[in-house]
Amino acid sequence: MRAKPRPPATQEQALWAMDQLIATHLVGQHEIAQRVGLNVTDLTCFAFVIEAGENLLTAGELADRVHVTTGAMTGILNRLERAGYITRRPDPADRRRVRVAARPDALARTREIYDPYYARITALFADYAPEEVAVLHDWFRRANEVAANYLEEYCRTD
């Protein structure tokens, strides 16, 4: 597939478009979290649990990813467990640590919500040539690294 002609854009226009996308996603995550009876932080934490798959994360690793204290993570995990989203398992290498697994029924419920959205995004990617998708992937990956480094440098209070 050849790349389609695209209208020119400045860096400022691209930054504005990115800000609009982030804002739309933040609002969307808030609304989805409300529909499933969670708050955004709990839903984000559950997303990290899903992403880890069979490589179960510890409570401490989740706390680092969500940028909360281990005490706050205990509260998050309590809420997710009560709501039927996760189970806690003892770490086989260190019984003092807990690993977190997604419950299959919760995973299925979450997929019902997100799969139609990801199907639309996949259809959008189909409008781009493979080399354009490679550029988008590179940009998203690198922008995520910039954002994570910024959070670590400027927003961490510990």
What pLDDT digit, counting tens, does each position of 64-82 carry?
Answer: 999 899 999 999 999 999 9
pTM of the entire predicted model: 0.86
Whether the predicted pLDDT of 1 surpasses 90:
no
pLDDT per position as a tens digit, 20-60: 999 999 999 999 999 999 999 999 999 999 999 999 999 99
Query: Phi, psi at residue 105, to the nearest 5°?
Result: -65, -35
> 96: pLDDT confidence band, cut at 50, 70 and 90?
confident
Distances (CA, A) of 83 to 11, 23, 44: 43, 27, 15
